[in-house]
Structure 1
Amino acid sequence: MADLIAWVLVLAVAAYACAGGTDYGAGFWDLLAGGAERGKRPRWLIDHAMGPVWEVNNVWLIFVLVLMWTGFPAMFQAVFEALWLPLALAAIGMVLRGAGFGLRKPTRRLAQRRLYGAVFAVSSLLTPFFLGAVLGGIASGRVEVGTTASADAWANPTSVLTGLLTIGAVAFLGAVFLCCDARRFGADDLVGYFRLRALLALAAIVVVALIGLPVTHGDAHYVWHGLTRGLGLLFVLLALASGAVTAVLLLRRSYRWCRYTAVAGVGLTVFAWGFAQRPYLLPTSLTVAQAAGASATLGWLVIVTLVAIVLVGPALVLLYWMDTHGELESLTDADTGAAPAPGDNL
C-alpha cells in the first residue's frame, strides 16, 4: 500500500504540473506582456482563459499535502523542517497571486490595475520557482530526517536549476494553452503571439536542461543515475519525444493536438523523476517503506483516495472539457479588441 500511495503522490504532482501549476501557467506571460496599451490584448485573453479554472488546480496541491502528511509523516516532517522558508514563500506567493488576479479584473483605475497586475505576475513567477527549489533540494539529497533549515537545502545548484525548469515548464504550458484558447476565441493575432512564446519557452527549457546535466551529475548523482538508466531514461526519452512533437505541431500551426502533447511532455518528466528517485522519498536516506505510516492508516488512505477520485475526478474532467470547448466563458468583440474600460484614464 505504501508503494501505491507513493505513486498516487507522484501522479498528483504530475496533475498539478500539467495544469500549469498555480496560475494556468499564464502569470509569466502577464508579467512580460508589456505596458498598458501593448499588453492589453494578451492580458484580456489571460483573464478570460484563467477565469473558470485558475483556482481548480489547487485541489491537486491540497491532495499532495494530505497524502504526504497522512501517508508519509516522517517525510512530511523532514521536508517542512528543512524547507519551511521556500514553502512559506511559495504559500505567500499563492495568496498574493490570487489576490492580485481577483482584484485586478473589477478594478477600474489604471494605476490600481497595474499594481494588482504586478502583484499577480511577480507572485506567479516566484511561486513555481520556490516549489521547484524544494523539489531540487529533495532530489539532491540535502533533506533528511532531522535536517535543520538552512539556505543550502534550497539555494543550491540543483534547486536553482529545478526552479528555473519549473518556471519554464509552466510558461511553456501556459503559452500553449493560451495559443489554443486564442484560436478558440477567434483572436487570430494572439494565436501567433503565444505560439512564438511557446516555442521560445520550449527552447529555454532545453537550454536549462542541457546546463543541468553536468550540474546534477555531481550534485544529485542518485537521481541523475536514475534518469539515465532503466525506466527513468525511458520516460525522459518519451518526454523529449512529446516536446519534439509539440514543437513540430506549433511550427506547422497544427493546434488540435499540441495541448495534449505539451501536457504529456511535462507529465512524463514528473514520472521520470519518480522512477529515478525510487525506492527513496528522500534520496538516499528515507525509503518509501521507512517513511510509510501505520498500515491501518494507509488502508484508510487508499479508500479515501478512491472515493475522492470517484467523486472529484469526473467533476474536474467535466470542468476542463467545458472550458476547452468554450462552454463556460467566451470573448466578445469588445474583449478581443481590448476596448478601454470606464476609468482607464484615471
Structure 2
Amino acid sequence: MLFFLLFSLLLYVLLGGADFGAGIVELFSSRENKKVNRDTIYRVMGPIWEANHIWLIILIVILWIAFPVYFNIIIIYLHVPLTLVLLGITMRGVSFVFRHYDAFQDKSQLVYNGLFRFSSFITPIFLGMCFAALVGGKLVVTEDYTNYGFYDLFMAPWFNGFGILVGLFYASLCAFLASTLLIGESEGDIRNMYIQKSKISTAVLVVLGFVLIAYGFFSEIAFIRDFVTNPISIICIILSGILLIPLWKFIRAGRRILSRYFAGLQVVLVLFAALVAHFPYVIITSSQEISLLEDISPDSVIMVLGISLIIGGGIILPGLFHLMKSFKMIKIFDRDEQQFQK
C-alpha cells in the first residue's frame, strides 16, 4: 500500500507540479511573452490538464481508507489551507477553460488570465505549507479544544516562516519542472526563452533550498535536524547537487529529452530525501511524533484496496499513456536532437 501511496504522490508532484508551474512561468513572464506562454501552455496542457489531479484523488482515497489516523489529522487540523488549495484548483480550472472557450473575447479575458496565473502560483504554496505543518512541530493534536484558540490549532502550524519557505520552495520546484519541460515543446526564440526561465528557476530553487534548510536548522525544527543528519538524505542531496552540472548543460544546449530525465530525477531525489529523513514519523506535533503506519486499517481492507488499485491502475495507466502519446505529450522515447543553436 505504501508503494501506491508514494507512487501517487510522486506522479502528482511531477505532473501536477508541472501543471501549476506552467501558470507560474506565465505569471513571471514579460507582457509580450505572456501571450506566447498562454498559447504554448494551452497546446501542451489542453489535452490532459484535468487528468493530473487524478493522482491527488488517489492519494486522498488511500490515506482515507488505509491510514485513517493520518487522514483525520490532516483533514481536521489542516482544513484551512486544504480549503484554500481546493479553491485554488477550482479557480484555476475555471479560468483555464473560460480564457480559451469564452464566446466573447473582451476585457473579461484579463480577469481569467489573472485568476489562472495567481491560482497557479498560490495553490502549490498552500500545498507546501500543508507539508510544513505536518513536520514543523507546531501542530497541536488534542481532544480538548477549550484550552486552545482557533489560531493556535488551525493557523499557527502552517502560517509561519517555515511554512512559507516550504511553500515557496514547492512553487519554485513547479516552475522549474514546467520551464524545463516546455523547452521540448517550443522552437527558436521561444525555446531560448524557456531555456532562460529554466536556468533562473533552477537557481531560485537551489537558493531557496539552502535558505529553507538553514532556517529550519537554526530554528531547531526536528524535521530539518533529522534531514541534515540522515545519511540517506544527505547522499540524495549531494547527488542532486552533482546532477545539476549535466542538467545545466542539457538546458543550455536545449536537449529536450535529457533535460526532462534529469529534471524528473532531481524531483525524485529531493522528494525521497524529504520522506526518508523522518519516515515513518511523517507527522511531528508539538508533543509527539505520529507514525504513518500507526493504527492502519485491517488487513482485509488493505487487501481489497490493493486489488482495486491494481485493477484501476491497469485501466487508467494505459489510457493515460495513450492520451499523452496521441497528443505528443510523451517524448521520452523519441530521439533527442540538439536543436538549440548557441
Among residues 144, 157, 172, which one is paired with 1:153 in the alignment? Answer: 157
Q: Does 1:301 align with 2:311?
A: no
What amino acid sits opposite 1:19 in the alignment? L
1:99 to partner: Cα distance:
0.3
Task: Give the Cα–Cα distance (whole angstroms) in 1 for the partners of residues 229 and 129 of structure 2.
Answer: 21
Which residue pairs with 2:119 in the alignment? 123
Q: Does 1:231 align with 2:239?
A: no
Equivalent residues of 1:281, 1:288 under 8 A apart = yes
Equivalent residues of 1:24, 1:50 under 8 A apart = no
3-state SS in 2 of match to 1:277: coil
Among residues 95, 100, 106, which one is paired with 1:105 in the alignment? Answer: 100
1:277 to partner: Cα distance:
2.0
Which residue pairs with 1:221 in the alignment? 222
Equivalent residues of 1:79, 1:143 under 8 A apart = no
Among residues 174, 177, 180, which one is paired with 2:184 in the alignment? Answer: 180
1:227 to partner: Cα distance:
4.6
CA-based RMSD: 2.2
Q: Does 1:82 align with 2:82?
A: no
3-state SS in 2 of match to 1:280: coil
CA change 1:88–1:24 in 2 (3 A) is: closer
Which residue pairs with 1:206 in the alignment? 206
Equivalent residues of 1:74, 1:291 under 8 A apart = yes
CA change 1:101–1:173 in 2 (3 A) is: same
Task: Give the Cα–Cα distance (whole angstroms) in 2 for the partners of residues 72 and 305 of structure 1.
Answer: 15
Which residue pairs with 1:254 in the alignment? 255
Compare relative contact order (CA 8 Å, sep 6+) and give the higher one, 1 or 2: 1
Task: Give the Cα–Cα distance (whole angstroms) in 2 for the partners of residues 170 and 59 of structure 1.
Answer: 18
Equivalent residues of 1:6, 1:288 under 8 A apart = no
3-state SS in 2 of match to 1:53: coil
Q: Does 1:17 align with 2:6?
A: no
Q: Which segment is superposed worse, 14-23 or 173-182?
A: 14-23
3-state SS in 1 of match to 2:137: coil
Equivalent residues of 2:18, 2:178 under 8 A apart = no
CA change 1:105–1:210 in 2 (3 A) is: same
- Mapping of residues 37-48 of structure 1, within 5 Å: 37-48=32-43
1:177 to partner: Cα distance:
1.4
- Mapping of residues 31-70 of structure 1, within 5 Å: 31-35=27-31, 37-70=32-65
3-state SS in 2 of match to 1:19: helix
Among residues 169, 176, 201, which one is paired with 2:173 in the alignment? Answer: 169
CA change 1:10–1:145 in 2 (3 A) is: farther
1:295 to partner: Cα distance:
2.3
1:82 to partner: Cα distance:
1.1
Equivalent residues, number = 318
1:145 to partner: Cα distance:
4.0
Task: Give the Cα–Cα distance (whole angstroms) in 2 for the partners of residues 295 and 227 of structure 1.
Answer: 35
TM-score after normalising by structure 1: 0.85
3-state SS in 1 of match to 2:51: coil
Task: Give the Cα–Cα distance (whole angstroms) in 2 for the partners of residues 110 and 96 of structure 1.
Answer: 19
TM-score after normalising by structure 2: 0.86
Equivalent residues of 2:70, 2:292 under 8 A apart = no
CA change 1:244–1:318 in 2 (3 A) is: farther
Q: Which segment is superposed worse, 236-245 or 25-34?
A: 236-245
What amino acid sits opposite 1:88 in the alignment? T
1:38 to partner: Cα distance:
4.5
CA change 1:245–1:324 in 2 (3 A) is: farther
1:8 to partner: Cα distance:
2.8
Equivalent residues of 2:17, 2:173 under 8 A apart = no
Which residue pairs with 2:278 in the alignment? 277
Unmatched segments (≥5 aa) in structure 1: 328-346
1:32 to partner: Cα distance:
2.4
Which residue pairs with 2:136 in the alignment? 140
3-state SS in 2 of match to 1:125: helix
1:254 to partner: Cα distance:
2.5
CA change 1:307–1:281 in 2 (3 A) is: farther
Q: Which segment is superposed worse, 140-149 or 105-114?
A: 140-149
Task: Give the Cα–Cα distance (whole angstroms) in 2 for the partners of residues 22 and 172 of structure 1.
Answer: 8
Equivalent residues of 2:27, 2:118 under 8 A apart = yes
Residue-by-residue CA offset, 1:78-124 (whole Å, 9 max, x unaligned): 11111111110010000000000000012342412111111111011
1:326 to partner: Cα distance:
8.0
Q: Does 1:319 align with 2:315?
A: no
Unmatched segments (≥5 aa) in structure 2: 146-152, 332-342
What amino acid sits opposite 1:175 in the alignment? S
Equivalent residues of 1:141, 1:220 under 8 A apart = yes
Task: Give the Cα–Cα distance (whole angstroms) in 1 for the partners of residues 7 and 228 of structure 2.
Answer: 18
Equivalent residues of 1:223, 1:277 under 8 A apart = no
